[in-house]
Amino acid sequence: MLQQRKNLPPPIWVAKPASFQAMIDRLRSEPALAVDTESNSLYVYHEQVCLIQISTPNADYLIDPLALADLSALGPLLADPQMLKVFHGAEYDLITLYRDFGFTVASLFDTMWASRILGWPAHGLADLLQAHFGVAVDKRYQRANWGVRPLPPEQLDYARLDTHYLLALHDLQVQELERTRRWPQAQHRFAKLSQTRWETKGFDPDGFWHLPGAHGLDDAGRGILRALYLLRDQQAQAENRPPFKMLSNGALLILSEQRPQTIEDLYRLRGVSSPLVRRQGHALLKAIRQGASQPLGWDQRPRPADNNNGRSSPECQARYEALRVWRNAAAQARGVEPDIVLTNQTLWAVAQRRPRSRAELASGGLLAAWQVDEFGEEVLAVLKKAK
Q: Do domains 207-300 and 314-386 have the same CATH topology?
A: yes
Residue 109: strand pairing partners: 86
What does DSSP assign to residue 143?
G
Q: Which residues contact 126 (CB under 8 A, 6 or more apart)?
A: 136, 137, 139
Query: So what CATH class is 207-300?
Result: mainly alpha
Fold for 314-386, please state it.
DNA polymerase; domain 1 (1.10.150)
Q: How far apart are the first and last CA of the chain?
A: 59
Per-residue pLDDT at 387: 67
Cα separation, 140 vs 5, in Å, equals 17
Per-residue pLDDT at 139: 80
Residue 49: strand pairing partners: 39
Biggest alpha carbon distance in the chain? 72
Q: Is 181 buried (19+), middle (13-18) or exposed (0-12) by CB count in 10 A?
A: exposed
User: Residue 361 CB: number of other CB atoms within 10 A?
Assistant: 23
User: Residue 282 CB: number of other CB atoms within 10 A?
Assistant: 11
Report phi then psi at 87, rounded to 5.
-120, 170
CA 49 from centroid of its chain's CA atoms: 14
Report phi then psi at 36, rounded to 5.
-155, 165
Contact criterion met (CB below 8 Å) for 240 and 261: no
DSSP string, 223-254: HHHHHHHHHHHHHHHHHT--HHHHS-HHHHHH
Nearest alpha carbon to residue 284 among 269, 268, 266: 266
- Edge-first strand order for the sheet with 108-110 is 12-14, 59-63, 49-56, 32-39, 84-87, 108-110
Q: Which of helix, strand or coil describes residue 297?
A: coil
Cα separation, 310 vs 52, in Å, equals 42
Q: Per-block average pLDDT, block size 10, for the chain (387 residues)?
A: 61 98 98 97 94 97 98 98 98 96 98 98 95 90 92 94 97 98 97 90 92 95 97 94 92 96 94 90 96 95 63 85 96 96 95 94 91 95 88
Sketch the domain layout of the chain as residue ranges: 2-193, 207-300, 314-386
Q: How many CA atoms, within 13 angstroms, populate the side-chain half-sphere of residue 97?
A: 27
Contact criterion met (CB below 8 Å) for 23 and 61: yes
Q: How many CA atoms, within 13 angstroms, populate the side-chain half-sphere of residue 49?
A: 24
pTM of the prediction? 0.88
Residue 55: strand pairing partners: 34, 60
Q: Which of helix, strand or coil describes residue 356?
A: coil
Q: Which of helix, strand or coil describes residue 344?
A: helix
Domain 2-193 homologous superfamily, CATH: Ribonuclease H-like superfamily/Ribonuclease H (3.30.420.10)
Q: Is 106 buried (19+), middle (13-18) or exposed (0-12) by CB count in 10 A?
A: middle
Tell me the Ramachandran region of residue 62: left when phi exceeds 0, alpha when psi lies from -120 to 50, beta otherwise.
beta
CA 366 from centroid of its chain's CA atoms: 25
